[in-house]
Structure 1
Amino acid sequence: MRTWLITGVSSGFGRELTTQLLEAGDRVVGTVRDTDKVADLVAAHPDTFRAEILDVTDTRAVRAVVDRAFADLGRIDVVISNAGYGLFGAAEELTDAQVDHIIATNLTGSISLVRSALPHLRAQGGGRIIQISTYGGQVAFAGNSLYHATKWGIEGFAESVAQEVAPFGIGVTIVEPGGARTEFRYGSAQVATLTPTYDGNPAHAFLAMLDPANGLAPGDPVRMAERIIESVDVEPAPLRMVLGSVALDATLATLRARVAQLEAQRDLAASTDFPTEG
């Protein structure tokens, strides 16, 4: 039996992961902003599920919840940083408050969770950190600028931390799902106050994606959650996992184009070095 700490378990991947883990007999500490949304899990699994109220934008609260969970349960094997949401609209259509909040949630909140857990994971001799990102952590689309900013940022953080903590037996995995049939796309997504300036512009192309009438996302959250859980048994921890064939194709195409662009800059890059002596 493993013990897991997962943020944002009221819906989406967090809810699906928690449900599967509890049904398998594992213990889960899950954070929510409203315990009513997980009352059924509390009732069905009173001995193995513990709901903690947490707003991940509150750094002190994040540390308090993490410290309490480790103190009460003795060991937590896997920490999953899952809490987050999407924000859509052209960069100039977003308000300052929207920008500040998504950074505080998706980026700073995730950083706070990982930093809070690391001393405990080191003290217990190891563990696994899973950062839920998106293939949008490597591929960028118009109308998603601040969402991408948070995900590209947390991926850089996680990749660096993975190198820092590997000597302590702590593995880090960045999960990059493609579009899935969860509340993230069809419920919790936030949209800026759109302006006519960007009508017909790629910045508003996301509107078609958010409308289920145009076809549902291909990703199955049940299967995705299964692959995430299975990854904990893989050694060494995979640094990145792309989930979904569409996501993988888009990621590979983006990376190949980026490499080609960089290869074409060899002379330019070399021209800025000091001349070699002799």
Structure 2
Amino acid sequence: MTDARVWFITGATRGLGRAFTEAALDAGDRVVGAARDITPLAELAERHPGRLVALPLDVVDRAAVMATVDRAVAAFGRLDVVVNNAGGLLFGMVEEATEEQIRAHLDVNFFGAVWVAQAVVPHLRAQGSGHILQVTTMGTGGGFAQVGYYGAGKAALDSVSEALAMEVERFGVKVTIVQAGGYDTGLFTLGTTATEPHPAYDDLRAELAELWGDDAGPAPATAAPAVMELVGLADPPRRLILGGASYDMVLAQLDQRRDLYRAWEDLSRRAPG
């Protein structure tokens, strides 16, 4: 068991967090799973005695994050893989969202992830190793109607994670931005806060519902093998898109943006700088 890795996973009770927790345990690793309600981890802990520690945590609470990470390190003596996964969805048009909804959403999806990063980096730096997986989304390259605030929070985390990677790599710490596709994580049900619909957007809402359809996406467990391979790499990539269809969509978005910039290159170059 001396070669077993130690994971710290937020949002470990469902979706991708649960899938990664189970995959790590099945691989013989040890896991500290954190979530606001850790009850769903009880049976998993029974199946893997001594290798899963479940800690209650609301990532919005910075002081609680710091204390919980200290407890996680104390549980197994180190951290090797940190999965910054906890998050939710604010679903609705930009105009519809209240200030309270927007701030609460960013508190979880952006600030919560930042608090976790700030809490784990001193431990990883001291041990001279570690791999932080920042779970964002394949949609960070541009906003999309009805999920603009979700994309905004993940895009902000994406940018901070690029900076973090540059800052900690000299200490032997790796950072990978995991751009997850549309898995059936419960994000659009259990993890959703919805705005009050404005009738002005009824037509657009109907168009989007038809565009997205009823397919909830593949099971989160199907993403786990790629992540297990990722954390086994000596030199992991700074970015990884999870999902073949998502990979194609991201590259198409990049091509569209490149084409747009080139179409207006002349106007861009008229401005000095």
1:127 to 124, 130, 149: 130
CA gap of 1:142–1:218, structure 2 versus 1, over 3 A, is same
Residues matched between the structures, number = 270
CA distance, structure 2, for counterparts of residue 240 and residue 91 of structure 1: 28
Pairing 1:60–2:63 present? yes
Partner of 1:197: 200
TM-score by length of 1: 0.91
Structure 1 residues 249 and 171, CA gap change in structure 2 (3 angstroms): same
Range that drifts further, 131-140 or 151-160:
131-140
Seq. identity, %: 38
Q: Paired residue for 2:176? A: 173
1:151 equivalenced with 2:154 (yes/no):
yes
Cα distance in 2 for residues equivalent to 1:258 and 1:235 = 33
In structure 2, what is the Cα distance between the partners aligned to 1:51 and 1:266?
A: 53
Query: Whole-Å Cα distance in 2 between the matches of residues 42 and 265 of structure 1?
Result: 57
* Counterpart for residue 268 of structure 1: 267
Q: Given the superposition, is the C-alpha separation of residues 93 and 61 from structure 1 closer, same or farther in structure 2, using an over 3 Å criterion?
A: same
Per the alignment, residue 75 of structure 1 pairs with 78
Moved more, 220-229 or 179-188: 179-188
| Contact residue 143 and residue 152 of structure 2 kept, 8 A | no
- Deviation of 1:30 (Å): 0.6
How many Å separate the matches in 2 of 1:43 and 1:236? 34
Q: 1:219 to 1:138 in 2, by over 3 A?
A: farther
In the alignment, which residue of structure 1 is the partner of 2:220? 221
Q: Single out whichever of 186-195 and 48-57 deviates more from structure 2.
A: 186-195
Between the aligned partners of 1:118 and 1:208, the Cα distance in structure 2 is 43
1:113–1:257: structure 2 CA closer, same or farther, 3 Å change rule? same
Check 1:206–1:31 CA distance in 2 against 1; reply closer, same or farther (3 A cut): farther
**Counterparts of 2:256 and 2:11 in 1: how far apart (Å)?**
35
Residue 181 of structure 1 contacts residue 219 of structure 1 at CA under 8 Å; is this kept in 2?
Answer: yes
**C-alpha distance in 1, partners of 2:99/2:75?**
39
Q: 1:270: Cα distance to partner?
A: 3.4
TM-score normalised by the chain length of structure 2: 0.92
The answer for unaligned runs of 5 or more in structure 1 is none
Measured after TM superposition, the shift of residue 264 of structure 1 is 3.5
Q: Does the Cα contact within 8 Å between 1:63 and 1:113 map onto a contact in 2?
A: yes
Displacement of 1:273: 2.4
Specify the SS of the correspondent of 1:30. strand
Partner of 2:191: 188
Report the equivalent of 2:247: 248
Distance of 1:139 and 1:224 partners within structure 2: 23
123-132 or 255-264: bigger deviation: 255-264
Distance 2:118 2:170 in 1: 16
Q: Unmatched 5+ residue regions in structure 2?
A: none
Name the stretch that deviates more: 7-16 or 192-201: 192-201
- Once the two structures are TM-superposed, the CA of residue 42 in structure 1 deviates from its matched residue by 2.2
Provide Cα deviations, 1:69-103, integer angstroms capped at 9, x if missing partner. 22342211011000001111001111111101110
CA distance in 2 between counterparts of 1:71 and 1:19 reads 21
How far does residue 186 in structure 1 lie from its aligned partner after superposition?
A: 4.2
Q: How many Å apart are 1:246 and its aligned residue?
A: 2.3
CA contact (8 A) 1:89 1:204 kept: no
Identify which range, 245-254 or 104-113, moves more after superposition. 245-254
**2:118 counterpart letter in structure 1:** R
Structure 2: how far apart are the matches of 1:209 and 1:36? 36
Describe the SS at the equivalent of 1:184: coil
CA distance in 2, matches of 1:209, 1:155: 26
| Matches of 2:206 and 2:181, distance apart in 1 | 19
